[in-house]
Amino acid sequence: MPEVPQSVYSVISLDEAKERTTDDSIPVVKAIGYELRARSDPRPRELRFNYFYYDKGQAVPRHRQREQEELFFVVSGRCRIEVDGDEFEVEADDFVVIDPGPWRRITALEPSEIFAIGAPNVRDDAVFEDENPFD
């Protein structure tokens, strides 16, 4: 079997990923995509992924994605998700996919961990509620 060059894959454990959250009022996030690389790029080209640690009551600020479709996998805990005014609860082992465009917010109802994947990997794709949504 031919040897696969390491430049076409990368591996990292969750423990090795750095915490990138700078504000204690929002969930801790490990932006795994900045450390997990493919094809010698500074980060993966097609996917953006993060691992969030929520304390009870914490929420990601209400925002929308211009181009990214997002998939969320609830690893542990229970959360309330709002998508364009509709609210529903999710818990461990649930998956949620949200199209680009609608406003969204995730609030932890108990300590929770969520793995999130967005595609395409568009830099600065999020528009937050306090920004002009028509930029």
Cβ(74)–Cβ(90) under 8 Å? yes
pLDDT tens for the chain, 135 residues long, are 455 455 566 667 888 878 877 777 788 888 776 666 655 666 667 788 889 999 999 998 899 999 999 999 999 999 999 999 999 999 999 999 999 999 999 999 999 999 999 999 887 888 998 765 444
Cβ(100)–Cβ(69) under 8 Å? yes
Query: Which residues, in sequence order, are CB contacts of 94 under 8 Å at separation 6+?
Result: 73, 74
| pTM attached to this predicted model | 0.79
- Structural domains of the chain ordered from first start: 26-127 (2.60.120.10)
Cβ(31)–Cβ(21) under 8 Å? no
Cβ(68)–Cβ(97) under 8 Å? no
